[in-house]
Structure 1
Amino acid sequence: MRVRPTVLLGAALLAIVTASAGCGGSGAEAGGASSFDRDDCQGGTLTVLNQGGLDEFDPARLYTSGGGALPTLVYRTLTTRQRVAGEAGNKPVPDLATDLGTPSDNAKTWKYTLKDGLKFDDGTPITSADVKYGIERSFSPDLPGGAPYLHDWLIGGEDYKGPYDGAHLKSIETPDARTIVFRLRQPHGDFPYLATATQFAPVPKAKDTGTKYTNAPVSSGPYKVEKYEPGKKLLLARNPHWSRSVDGQRLACPDRIEVTAGLDATVINQRLVSGAGADAGAITTDTPVGPEQLARLGSDQRLAKRVARGVFGETKYLAFDATKKPFDDIRVRQAFAYATNRQSVVNAVGGSSLASPATTFLPEGKAFGHRPYDHFPAGPNGNPAKAKELLAQAGHANGLTVELAFPNSDAGGYGPKVAAAVQDALKQAGVTVKQKPLGEEDYRTIAGKPATQPPLTLQSWGADWPAGGPFLIPIFDGRQILRDGGNFNLAQFDDPAVNAEIDAINQLTDPAKAAPRWGALDARIGGQALLVPLYHPRTVVLYGKDVKNAYIDQWRGWYDVSTVSVK
């Protein structure tokens, strides 16, 4: 299993989550919820003002977090997230399928049945063959960029190259028009979560135009694509063959949705504040509030009423390569944990409104199985004295000099400002930190390969769905160490007992039983100081004065566009 880490898009603030697959703890607020009537919300045009998110719209190429909240308006999948605010929004629910799937063979086989009455935007029925074909085309080398799980999980998926040469995946069976069966290499109790990914959107083979499909995709959701200009504009109109009778999750209130990308973050927030013309019915799916607006929230009550707050399951952290000196000594790693001043890190990214200090790798939230722990208690400001004591025990009584690598941009929330805060805290413990900023592309290439990985780096991790598995497996499963690149197990940690526990939890198909096991495993691994959690981001975003039901969806940490309405 490999997961792409979250890349933040907001430039004005540092630590706000993007429209990414994720969840978190409390804090979701529904804009205008008291006057919102889901049975009387149809009409109007919803305007979406974004910095990015329109570079790709092919369901095969969209990562689980890619494209933000917009693809779910066009593409339905076997399952989807429950469209409600709060913790209940962390649950997968049936979408095209009648249920969350029937597992067998210790969760290595999953069977789904499609609902009756499903149609594409041209009126043709949606069949299991369309779902299978949509998945198969996501394996084509011509359509890269999608979530990698199916390549790893499906039998034969690692070598499959897509259907364009006539080959098909035998591990996906469609015995009839409404039934689809998946056969996996290993048990995966999280399969209902994965089935929310856009790769599970049905694609009619007769309408597939390969790399050009992104320009005119066939809709299975409440809206169809009227116009698409990559990186610039997306216009969505109602799909006449969709109805709430076959889709109990998406409200699809607006008649039209007009998305503009390529805008500056400052411009977006200024337009949302002013609310002139069409901007009164505007939201953004990738731009947090700017410093100016954040400063006004305490004194401007009218503006404060147009703010949604929430969280995404993400952790910013200090990562060690435990195979390289000096971090092959646990006492050095523990010293860095004690020396860390989390309050200074939180301040660096904008304060407590935008970040909460972290002592656990798993974010807060029942869905993750979060278990509170602090194996190296040092208070909010760190304990440099304890850190010096441990360094002396490790043979560094006269101090230590290390190099810290990090992205050269603050946009991701773990760049220069966080590096400076870490540098200052370690200095109090006698550690001299030499900064090594790198361009984002170079950073990922270098840090993702064990042979070139720096011993000490700043990192970010956000899960693709709200569960402990996609958080812990890529980072701590020893079988996920990828020598040729794309590696996220930066500690190069390989503990057979941990690997065995991961396998055991993966067989559990009940999230309520799996979650506490993931939390216990996080606490167990945390005692080895393989990384230092720094903070969990918080989301603060504006919406237009005529927008209703603009709550933060905890699965991804942004608005659920499918439930928003305009006056």
Structure 2
Amino acid sequence: MNRKTLVLPAVVGLLAPVLAACGGSGSGSGGDAIVVGTTDRFTASKDAPAPLDPAYAYDVGTWNILRQTVQTLMIQPKGEGDPVPEAAESCGFTDSGNERYACKLRDGLKFANGDSITAADVKYSIDRALAIKADSGVFALLSTIDTVETQGDREVIFHLKTADATFPFKLSTPVAGIVNPDDYEKNKLRDGFDVDGSGPYTLSADVKNDEMTNAVFTKNPNYKGTLKVNNEEVDMRSFESADDMGDALAKGDLDVMTRTMSPAQIKKLTEASDGNVDLVEMPGLEIRYLAFNTDDPGVKTKAVRQAMAQIVNRSELVSKVYGSAAEPLYSLVPASITGHSNSFFNKYGDPSVTKAKAMLTGANITTPVKLTLNYTTDHYGSATKQEFELLQKQLNASGLFDVTIKGAAWDTFVPAERKGTYEVWGMGWFPDFPDADNYLAPFLDKDNFLKLPYANAQIRTKLIPESRREADRLAAATSLTEIQDIVADDVPILPLWQGKQYVAARDNVTGTAYALNSSATLQLWELSRGVS
């Protein structure tokens, strides 16, 4: 099949004010459903029976289901930038210290079933997520909330424990989604794959053996918000592999192919010069990293983690596994985010076995150090295994490590890492919102989602709160850089690379340039049929 490539221009950020000025839900284009493919898997298990409850869900796949169906007070705009009101008519800080945040709901807001939405429903939803305190750790996004107050049916006031300039972004995440008390119990997660909200779509799920294989999104007639919904129905299908998804696109069974495509697919699509499929490359803020259980005897000594940081060759890893789809990363914060610092490169420079050996010798560590690197086989794409095979090769070739690697399916992998089973494991991070705080606090603060035992008092009690007091994120750079430098020295996490993101679509599907935003949010409402 012949293909052509489109690249989203960097000036997309300039379009942010256009969306902020728009209102109303708009009208769909009609016609048959747009069929979208993904390799994200949606499984209900004994350890995670409620994958789509906003109070539990905390990965890019489940969030992309919720962003279509559950409305939030704020939303990230089409062209990036600061969040804008969505279920709210207006929101803003009402004090100079960024500790009191007030929102006014849109008039006539309704759930998809026709029930009116009031300020009490917003309070119920936020209080519920905080009270359930799910082991996914998603509730920590709301950790700066002290109390939620309502005034009448349309006024909601958030009183914060400490200043938090990032709070508007947090209100744009699914954990802050508005749910109907009739559908979601106060102190219990909602098991299964039913989702009810006031977002642009309703959801009908096909489930087989406790796994959602197909999600049909139908335009919600009661939706009232900022989004223009350009289609009547989207059918999202989950595939076991990128190859299976690609075959479906080639056969004409798919209109759009989203994450995660393999590096080989991306290369092939990029090099094709004509045809009826377009590849759209978009800025991405995805990162990959190794996490350490710093209580585990194998990696408890800092010198072991530092030696790994000194040996890993990111450039080789990217070039041999991901090609042009990724770039080496030397901090938890991606290079395009305000506050980024190349802290790991500043400390370790180029890979050096000699320097790594000196670190281990100085700490009286016997070599080779035996370790197991764990990874998930079915969540981040088929290249993950190849990535870990190369990491294993790099570390073992030094003579300082004896590394084995072990893969596990996502529904097994996540409960194991949360229980502290692994000493070293690989993960990816798609930001909740595009701010440096969201690459630091979720990993390093109290109640971090990885359940890391690593705790640095200076980061938690001084630097994170200090950075959140700055509404001007450039002004927070000093605190943010200091956090990144501490992480580079202690190495509780080892950043590896930063990725781009892609969508492949038939050329009669429009809106693909906005099908994903930089935070990997799937924006199905942007898609329609027409002439590209």
Q: Fold-level match, TM-score > 0.5? A: yes
TM (norm. structure 1) is 0.74
User: CA shift at 1:190, angstroms?
Assistant: 2.0
Of the three residues 228, 232, 253, the one matched with 1:251 is 228
Q: Secondary structure at the match of 2:346?
A: coil
Instruction: Name whichever of 123-132 and 509-518 sits farther off.
Output: 509-518
Q: Which runs of structure 2 are paired with 1:440-451 in the superposition (5 Å)?
A: 444=414, 447-448=417-418
Q: What does residue 43 of structure 1 align with?
A: 30
Q: 3-state SS of the aligned residue for 1:366?
A: coil
- 1:556 is matched with 519
Offset of residue 253 of structure 1: 0.4
Distance 1:321 1:203, change over 3 A: closer
Against the structure 1 CA distance between its residues 530 and 257, is the aligned structure 2 distance closer, same or farther, given a 3 Å change threshold? closer
- Please, what is the CA RMSD of the aligned residues? 4.0
SS in 2 for 1:297: helix
Equivalence for 2:176 = 200
Matches of 1:383 and 1:66, distance apart in 2: 38
* SS state at 2:395 partner: helix
Per the alignment, residue 3 of structure 2 pairs with: none
Q: Deviations over 1:208-247 (max 9, x none)?
A: 688779776554233334x3334133333333333xxx53
In 2 relative to 1, CA 64–234 (structure 1 residues): closer, same or farther, beyond 3 Å? same
> Which of 379, 384, 406 lines up with 1:437 in the alignment?
406
Say yes or no: does 1:354 pair with 2:325: yes
Match of 2:47 in 1: none
Deviation at 1:132, TM superposition (A): 2.1
Q: How much does 1:82 deviate?
A: 0.9
Per the alignment, residue 465 of structure 1 pairs with 433
TM-aligned CA deviation for residue 275 of structure 1: 3.4
Q: Give the secondary structure class of the aligned counterpart of 1:116.
A: coil
Q: Which residue of 2 aligns with 1:180?
A: 156
Fraction of identical pairs, as percent: 19
1:294 aligns with 2:263: no
Structure 2 unmatched ranges of 5 or more: 1-7, 44-50
Greater RCO, 1 or 2 (C-alpha within 8 Å, sep 6+): 1
Q: Structure 1, unaligned stretches of length 5 or more?
A: 1-25, 156-170
2:425 is the alignment partner of 1:425: no
1:266 aligns with 2:234: no
What's 1:337 paired with?
Answer: 309
Decide whether the 8 Å contact of 2:292 with 2:452 is kept in 1: no
SS in 2 for 1:259: strand
Q: Report the 3-state secondary structure (helix = DSSP H, G, I; strand = E; otherwise coil) of the residue aligned with 1:192.
A: helix
Once the two structures are superposed, the pairs formed by residues 364-383 of structure 1 within 5 Å of their partners are 364-367=335-338, 369-373=339-343, 374-379=345-350, 382-383=351-352
Please name the residue that 2:73 is paired with.
78
Once the 2 structures are TM-superposed, how far is the Cα of residue 298 of structure 1 from its aligned partner?
0.9
Q: Determine the C-alpha separation between the residues in 1 that align with 2:107 and 2:388.
A: 54
Alpha-carbon deviation of 1:324?
4.6
* Paired residues of 1:384 and 1:429 also in contact (CA < 8 A): yes
**Letter paired with 1:43:** G
Counting only pairs closer than 5 Å after superposition, residues 60-99 of structure 1 correspond to structure 2 as 60-63=55-58, 65-84=60-79, 89-99=80-90
Closer, same or farther in 2 for the Cα pair 1:387/1:543, shift >3 Å?
Answer: same
- CA distance in 1 between counterparts of 2:414 and 2:27 reads 48
The CA distance in 2 between the partners of 1:29 and 1:549, in whole Å, is 16
SS in 1 for 2:324: coil
Distance of 1:531 and 1:62 partners within structure 2: 23
Q: CA 1:540/1:416 → structure 2, altered by over 3 Å: closer, same or farther?
A: same
> How far apart in 1 are the matches of 2:171 and 2:206?
28
Whichever structure has more helix as a proportion of its residues is 2
Matched, 1:407 2:379: no
Q: Is contact 1:474–1:489 with CA below 8 Å preserved after alignment?
A: no
Structure 1 range deviating more: 539-548 or 423-432 = 423-432
Tell me, yes or no, if the aligned pair for 2:27 and 2:228 is still in contact at 8 Å. no
Q: 1:525 to 1:347 in 2, by over 3 A?
A: same
Q: Please tell me whether the aligned partners of residues 238 and 256 of structure 1 are also in contact (alpha carbons under 8 angstroms).
A: yes
Contact 1:115 1:178 survives alignment (8 Å): yes
Structure 2 vs 1, CA of residues 537 and 316 (structure 1 numbering), >3 Å: closer, same or farther?
A: farther
Aligned equivalent of 2:287: 314
Code of the aligned partner of 2:346: H
C-alpha distance in structure 2 between counterparts of 1:392 and 1:468, whole Å: 35
Q: What is the aligned partner in structure 2 of residue 241 from structure 1?
A: 222
CA distance in 1, matches of 2:298, 2:41: 40
Higher strand share: 2
Write the distance in 2 (CA, Å) between the matches of 1:359 and 1:66. 26
User: Alignment partner for residue 283 of structure 1, among 251, 256, 266?
Assistant: 256
Q: Secondary structure at the match of 1:466?
A: coil
